[in-house]
Chain A
Amino acid sequence: MLAIGLRRRGFAEVAPVTEQAHATFDRIFEEFSAPIYNYVLRMVGDADRAADITQDTFIKAYRKLDSLTDSHATKSWLYRIATNTAIDDMRRRRWISPVGLDDEGQPERPDQGPGPEAQVIAGMLDERIQRALMRLRPNHRQCIVLSDLEDMSPHDIGEVMNLSYGAVRTLLCRARGEMRRHLATEGLVR
């Protein structure tokens, strides 16, 4: 539960949110933190970035809580926030690949033991699938993940991606075609 901190001093100073809103946010966090984190992880392929984006997603959600008028739309509403946050992050990082640096610019030596990535994306099969996913263009990756991992309907995907039903079907078809080529490169499909 996230409620403890939100009821502490300072919370009310940030935004006057009702007790009911506290409860709503707690419920949203409890139900969706893991799915959102995993969705973002599949989108960006990096555990640290996924945590940052998930964090931003929930802070944004908290601040926009009053815009959530239909509780049945919570999932698509939250995924839409996560999607936009992830896309913004990816857009800023185009041509970017994170490599850490120590204090004065010396490249950090990679840890020889299993790192966070290895713990998160464990197993060769997952790794190869994730590699294929990362080769997709972002909107194709998003479509595949929402459909095949999150099991969303084209209608729901359209809500998240702000696309029409027909556009989602077309996009998903193209994404599957592209994904097939990348999975074939990994030797996972023909």
Chain B
Amino acid sequence: MTLRRGEHPDELISAAISGDLTDDEQARLDAHLASCESCRQTMAAWTEQRRLVSGLRSAPVPRDLGPRIRAGIESGAFAVPWWRRSGLLVGIGATVATAAAAVVAVAVIGGLLPGPQVATSVSPSASSSTGGSPAATASPSAAETPAPSPTGPAIAPEAIPPYYLAYAGPSDNVTLTLRDGDQGTTDRELPTPQGQPIRAALSPNGRWLAYITPVGLKGTNKYWVVNIQDGSETVLGESSAIGSPFTNGLFWSSDSRYLSFTLTDNLSGPETDAWLFNTVDRSVKPMTGRGDVVAAGWRTEVVNSQLADPRAWVSVAAADPTSYELPDLATASLPIDLDQATTALPGVFQPLWSGDHSSAIFWRGTLNPSAPAGYEFAQGGAPYLAREIGRNPTRSFDAASSLFSDVSIGREAFTSAAITWEALGGDAYAVWDARWSGPPQSSDGAPYPDAGRIYLSHASDPRNILSGHALDPADLPANGYVSFVAIAPLDPDYLAVTVGFPASGDLALPRAEVRLIKRNTGTVADELIRTLRGDQSGWYGPAVYPQ
């Protein structure tokens, strides 16, 4: 190492501390130190800090470490990723890491092993005002089902495998199972519905799975929740099958205590309200009773680096929508009169909060509540991103920016779109099925915004979504459609995309598969890591991560 005039030989000082200097280097360093007070101070400070670090006391090894290693070797168990370790649970905690309140959370899925099969069923109708009493029903079979053979290469070591639902089997014996996306093994047999699961949401603690299935040709959807540990099921209700993504959301509170969702009863005219499932007493109750309300996300405030009790939000689906934060559900009596709401935000529809609780995506525009396909925006509708939601969300929502930042919106509208956030402390989000009523806005004439593409971005990206945020279409089959998207928590470059295929006939089982896709940047193409589907034709999806 040659010293230039005025240069401080920090690297030589560091090497001297480590006792790693040649004679020549030592001589040059000595010569420099003789005339440089700054470097003498550096030498003294670094010597002291080495002394401090080397003096750190040794901690005793946990007494059970040897037996644990022995047991691990004997059982063949191997380096289970921390978030999937059996016996641990998904927890939520938080520290504020940045001024933007980058909330951090910990999540460990555990207990996804079959246990005693005890089932209860509560089946309120959408129009009933309270949930019924739990009643015993036949328990689902605990019989082992053959493990499917996931196709494609093994999942890259860094990819977090999701769980996914599988609705498959011979036509006279179709079953619904929850499968491990890593091993392809069946973790839980679920009650057999009359149709394929179209939406699903895993609670943040990994213990509850909620999902929606169509009910034959009735034109209704059934809402379910299953306790993954004990296998007990609860039917949350039945709802008119509206195609709008605004009504099929399943929203878990960050403490996994509550699930909110929307049920619509069309028998007596469209009556839509937000409902609540309480995991503690397993009750199912309407949160609202107006007939024009949809469930939205949960806002969780960060107070002293910890998460406060989550607050439920709902939105009145009128032409000029308004969103409300409900009072504490632990003490409120249901259904709640919206006059009791703690916050009301006119012009805001269905806010969905990010996994790090720092941001929210919501809608603005003129809603058409009686559109043929269900709720959709008629004019000027678009999703917006509000950053840095704090104790005064009003201010943050006022400063929100259009999610598709390169789309000019006049009288046109995004009539609807499906949106999902990365969970558990993340800030990535994906948008798909973005239905745009105006002409394409790309310079090359390609459809943009494109309802068939998936757009992936982060709340920390000030550009929001640009056309370049779309995933490569080559990773999705041309004859399929995106049914659901889940973002891998902590690895938001990985997406689990449920791709549905049009049924080949009225009697044919619907088909879907899960594609694990790695999002790359720059000129590197996105990568199809693996396709999850079983040996038998069937509906494999949605894939889920903890919400």
Residues of A within 8 A of B (CB): 2, 4-6, 8, 10-11, 14, 29, 33-34, 37-38, 41-42, 47, 49, 51-52, 54-56, 58-60, 62-63, 85, 88-89, 91-101, 104-107, 119-123, 125-126, 129-130, 133, 144-145, 147-149, 151, 153-154, 169-170, 172-173, 176-177, 179-180, 183-184, 188-190
Contact = CB atoms under 8 A, between A and B. Distances in A.
A52 B85 contact: yes
Nearest to A11: B74
Contacts of A5: 67, 70-71, 73-74
Contacts of B56: 42, 126, 129-130, 149
Nearest to B52: A129
20 contacts: A5-B70, A37-B65, A38-B59, A56-B79, A95-B426, A96-B425, A101-B89, A101-B93, A104-B257, A105-B92, A105-B204, A105-B256, A107-B307, A122-B57, A149-B54, A151-B54, A173-B10, A173-B15, A188-B48, A190-B44
Contacts of A144: 53
Contacts of B54: 148-149, 151
Interface in B1-42: 10-11, 13-15, 17-18, 20, 41-42
Interface stretch (B102-110, B231-239, B387-395): B102-110
B45 A189 contact: yes
A154 B20 contact: yes
Interface of B: 10-11, 13-15, 17-18, 20, 41-42, 44-46, 48-50, 52-54, 56-62, 65-79, 81-83, 85, 89-95, 97, 102, 104-106, 158, 160, 204-205, 253, 255-257, 279-280, 306-307, 356, 424-426, 490-491
Contacts of B72: 55, 59
Contacts of B75: 10
B14 A169 contact: yes
Contact of B59 (A4, A41, A180): A41
Contacts of B15: 154, 169, 172-173
B74 A8 contact: yes
A177 B76 contact: no
B179 to A, nearest CB: 22
B76 A37 contact: no
A114 B77 CA distance: 33
Given A105-B256, A148-B50, A177 B10 contact: yes
Contact of A95 (B41, B66, B92, B104): B104
Contacts of A122: 57
Contacts of A60: 78-79
B427 to A, nearest CB: 9
Contacts of B76: 14
B490 A49 contact: no
Contact of B14 (A10, A107, A133, A173): A173
